[in-house]
Structure 1
Amino acid sequence: MRLTWSDYLVLAGYIALVTGLGVYGARHRRSDDEYFLVGRRMPWLAVGISIVAAMISSITYLAEPGEVWKSGVTHATGKLLGIPLEMLFVWGCCIPFMMRFRFTSVYEYLEHRFGRPTRRWGAALFVIMVLLWMGFVVLVLSQVVHQLCGMPLLAVILTVGTVTTLYTMLGGLRMVIWADVVQVVILVAGAVGTIGYIMWSEGGTPVDWLAAADAHLQAIGQPTAIPVFSWDPTVRVTVVSVAVNMAVWHLCIHSSSQTTVQRYFSTPDARAARRSFLASSIAYVAVSLLLVSVGLAVLYYYVSTGRPIDGNLDPETQRDLIFPTFALHHLPAGAGGALLAALLSAAMSTVDAGLGAVATVVSLELRPVCASHEQPSGPLAAHELPRAGASGASRVPLAMATTVLAGTVITGIACTLTCLPPHWGIFGAIPRTFNAITGPLGALFLTGMFMPCVRQPAVVAASVCGLAVSLVLGYLQQISAVLHAHGLVPHLWPDISFAWILPCSFLASVLVAPLLSLVDWSPPRDLTGLTWWTRRAALGEALERLPRP
């Protein structure tokens, strides 16, 4: 199917809107603090919505409705149970702990807690993770548009990468947050419009949708609609495995990802940051339920009436394309463009968040390289950026150049990732690419917060072990194929469920760190104010006693 002129008009209007926001944001850019953190004056509700936009990409927008065809509401049930597990911890521990510091980059904490090499290691892990994440997001969106609308794949990749890079470079964090608010509205409108059309044309209630999903799952041989738990780690999804995976993922993202934590730092204080977190959690649950409802409604549309799926798509291998294909074939004129705008908004909200965070981290990390004689910033309770003799806007040009470079790299990664095996699908590829780093990165921070006995050599080595666990579990079948080809193993090993890879890598990092600390004889550091157990100490006095690199 090809888009009509009205669809192209909607798309052009959306691209013009977000680019205009970037130009408008550039008019308010007066200093580093304004560019990176909006002067720490952003409204908590806008920050909360922006966090949701950063976490819900086109991957989620396509995979959530598509997953209904594979596992019904099992994945959604596990996700919704996992979120409360991490909410109390993030609300009660992570946010108040980190908001005591006046950091611009969350990786500054690693320098004060462990040392400058750990800060560089954490920042490097983050940059690699985000570049892979953003490249994967752009690739997924571009492949969908290419397959459904016939647009050249390279042209779609270049358009998304160029536009997102442009408005992020111009406007800084202020523009990113307000653009994210607009993009969430578009994303929700596209999903609500689909549900409304199906209810108007076919009738039925959510109860009918669930019954249709249950019948479909029974037809494809799934023994129960909602498998709760299995001791077999190769079972693709259960409620427990998804809940654990989502809880660990959210915990790592909210404690160690500059993409998320930078938004908390843009609020005035810990109270506003907590309100932003609460708003983002509520909105995340609501959007997840909405997308699952879209998947159930579309499944009901086809299954209950016996209609063939448009485009002759296979629900087993092409389930992620069923929702957008339905919208392009059945929604009114202009709705196809609105859907693509929703997909673009979901992708671009994630990419702009990643670009902004990478620009912040890289511009801060390059400063010590260029001026290695400088001491660590301080005191901890003061903002890092304004230093004596430093220009108030000295890092903005570097951040803008970094944004352009990162956008170019992301576009190149998206082109490179086209070689991924197609049978992996979205959920199968995620833990084998960017999420292979998420667990070890989160473990760096949580180890620093709660394990005062662990020092720099142990925590870095433990994170390397966590990375190794991610790669071994993620590529277990491929590793066994190589070993089998050389006669080292009798048969191929089965794939571990994608839901267990991230929790296992996180757990490995957290467990190995204290074990390695038993043989770590590096000099101890004064941790006053830098761990959960010493958090009430005077931060400024603590920093003065830290050993200088």
Structure 2
Amino acid sequence: MNVLDWTVVAVYLSSMIALAIYLGRSQKNEKDYYLGGNDVNYFAIAISTMATQCSTNSLLGAPAFVISVGGLLWLQYELAVPLAMIGVMIFLLPFFRKQNIISVYEYLEKRFGVGTRTFMSVLFQFLRAFATGVTVYGISIVLFKITGIPFWISVLILGIITIIYDMFGGMKAVIYSDVIQMIVLYGGIAVCLYYAITLTGGWAEIWSILPADKANALDFAHHGFGDGKTYAFWPMLIGGFFLYVSYYGCDQTQVQRELSSKDIDDTNMSLFVNGVLRFPLVVTYCFVGVALAAFIVKNPEFIEKLILTPGGQPDYNLAVPIFCTTYLPHGIIGLIMVALFSAAMSSLDSTINSLSATTIRDIVERFFVEGEMDDKTQLLWSRMMTVFWGVVCVGFSFFVGNISDSIIESINKIGSLANGSILATFLLAILTRKANGVGAVCGIVLGFAVNTYLWIFHPEISWLWWNFIGCVVTFSYGYYVSVRVGGEKLNPENIDDLVFSKDAKKFFNYKRNWPMYYAILVGYCVFMIYMLQIISSWGGKA
């Protein structure tokens, strides 16, 4: 990288801070800070959600997966997204929006009591802070390996810039900076793909030399339930469905921005748009992996440029940045570095804002403050807690090196231990009347324990199934314990507004014809399967 490249990076980072200061001028209280005053456009929320999902782990890990692990089979994971959006739109987000809450765990207190709320909030805070430390570590180690910037300096640059603009701008800064980051990120991906295609000899040449196993995007022949095939169709569809419903519908980092919309209809529209637009994004960065896999076939010396892992194998997680810094012109290299920064910052900013929200709402205001804080004090505490969690997440990045060697799989695998159980806790609250907090906590502990047992003693079972297994175990055992210890006796007297109603249109006062949107998403899933079949037919000529 030269002066031009670093100038591009510097202009981008300083612009993020300026934008946040501008957006933060109108903030008056914690609702403005954490929910953007409930006047954020649904399309911006959808793009922000996509940006958070497309972290550095995805940008680097998905092409690496295509090159060295399972080819385009990763795209099967995306089939679950539109179906998961339907589940979230029907059973989860409308309840949270109706309760006028900031922390999603506030709903659990209304339904199950303060113990369940506190337990789930603290669990979220620890797991999300730790996982974000992995993300910060990943991008910082990449910057160190390809630019020579010391690891700790890379961590501090990324962390300090994100903390500053998040502290001043709150949720609006998170969302609108994510929109800009998504544009930059997709532009960087597109430029990288263009150069990879051109240097390999064109799109037709790529598919003619690409090994058939890399081009195959569908695996109906295996089930992943003991056959050692992790990335078969059914575990990726079913396991992915439960993972995405949990992530989009129960994770504070996602729910909080979805609650920033004007009303329930806009909340659901943000989910609908995300369900439609995510697939083209993921296809694009997986195609980068396809192009690089073909490039390596024609230029095997490129592998020598990759730094070796501790096991002595080429680190394909570095394939994208090393390709870009080697073959792209200066200025464009700066754009790619900005894209890497964008991918990491879009994950970090939403995380520290949501961690701040849950700490203030579920811990500070719930246990340490009598009465309500005035608006000025709310805003001050919110910003201070944002800084605190930013420091914690950055601090974690110095201690997670042994976890993040396989970037994209490690993040999803760790999350899958608990995703299904977390989802089941909310489903117990929303879909049943007899479930209570005691049963819910017992259920989540058993669900997590069962998945941990499978990880240690049955590695031949696809970790994608853990999302489904954890949900079923937690829901079943949680309901059983609830009935045994008292069921309805431990619940609030009137829970009519807290459980699912068949007459959803009247219950939530919908203005849009949502069954039509659900049908579109189902049709879109079928279309995606058809597209994966077409993509699979392109390869296999080598």
TM-score range for the pair, normalised by the shorter chain length = 0.7 to 0.9
Aligned to 1:501: 466
Aligned to 1:74: 73
CA 332–538 in structure 1, closer or farther in 2 if over 3 Å, else same: closer
Give 1:391's match in structure 2, choosing from 371, 374, 377. 374
Maintained 8 Å contact 1:23/1:171: yes
Q: What count of residue pairs does the alignment treat as equivalent?
A: 497
Tell whether 2:277 aligns with 1:283: yes
Give 1:336's match in structure 2, choosing from 328, 333, 336. 333
Tell whether 2:418 aligns with 1:437: yes
Q: Deviations over 1:233-284 (max 9, x none)?
A: 5323212222223211210012211111111211111111111112222232
Tell whether 2:353 aligns with 1:356: yes
Q: Quick check: 349-358 or 22-31, which moved more?
A: 22-31
Structure 1, unaligned stretches of length 5 or more?
A: 219-223, 375-386, 478-492, 540-549
DSSP 3-state at the match of 1:181? helix
Provide the aligned C-alpha RMSD in A. Answer: 2.4
Maintained 8 Å contact 2:356/2:382: yes
Aligned to 1:411: 394
Residue 511 of structure 1: how far off its partner (Å): 2.2
Paired letter, 1:348: M
Q: Deviations over 1:336-359 (max 9, x none)?
A: 222121111011001000011111
Maintained 8 Å contact 1:53/1:180: yes
CA 396–321 in structure 1, closer or farther in 2 if over 3 Å, else same: same
Q: Deviations over 1:298-329 (max 9, x none)?
A: 11222145554351456965221111111111
Percent of aligned pairs sharing the same letter: 23
TM-score, normalising length: structure 2: 0.86
Aligned to 1:490: none
Maintained 8 Å contact 1:75/1:238: no
Paired letter, 1:504: I
Paired letter, 2:328: L
Aligned to 2:6: 8
Q: Deviations over 1:130-158 (max 9, x none)?
A: 10121111011111111222211111112
Aligned to 2:263: 269
Aligned to 1:169: 167
Aligned to 2:534: none
Residue 225 of structure 1: how far off its partner (Å): 6.8
Aligned to 1:49: 47
Maintained 8 Å contact 1:126/1:441: no
Following the alignment from structure 2 to structure 1, what is the Cα–Cα distance between the partners of residues 404 and 154? 21
Aligned to 2:219: 227
Q: Deviations over 1:184-218 (max 9, x none)?
A: 0111011100122233344422x653454334659
Maintained 8 Å contact 2:30/2:382: no
Tell whether 2:441 aligns with 1:460: yes
Following the alignment from structure 1 to structure 2, what is the Cα–Cα distance between the partners of residues 15 and 431? 29
DSSP 3-state at the match of 2:87? helix
Maintained 8 Å contact 1:57/1:347: yes
DSSP 3-state at the match of 1:452? coil
Following the alignment from structure 1 to structure 2, what is the Cα–Cα distance between the partners of residues 448 and 64? 35
DSSP 3-state at the match of 1:340? helix
Maintained 8 Å contact 2:163/2:387: yes
Paired letter, 2:498: L
Where does 1:182-193 land on structure 2 (aligned, <5 Å)? Answer: 182-193=180-191
Residue 182 of structure 1: how far off its partner (Å): 0.8
Residue 296 of structure 1: how far off its partner (Å): 0.9
Give 1:106's match in structure 2, choosing from 80, 100, 104. 104
Following the alignment from structure 2 to structure 1, what is the Cα–Cα distance between the partners of residues 461 and 150? 35
Paired letter, 1:75: W
Following the alignment from structure 2 to structure 1, what is the Cα–Cα distance between the partners of residues 96 and 292? 43
DSSP 3-state at the match of 1:416? coil
Following the alignment from structure 1 to structure 2, what is the Cα–Cα distance between the partners of residues 420 and 86? 28
TM-score, normalising length: structure 1: 0.85
Give 2:432's match in structure 1, choosing from 451, 462, 484. 451
Give 1:472's match in structure 2, choosing from 434, 441, 453. 453
Following the alignment from structure 1 to structure 2, what is the Cα–Cα distance between the partners of residues 445 and 152? 43
Aligned to 1:237: 231
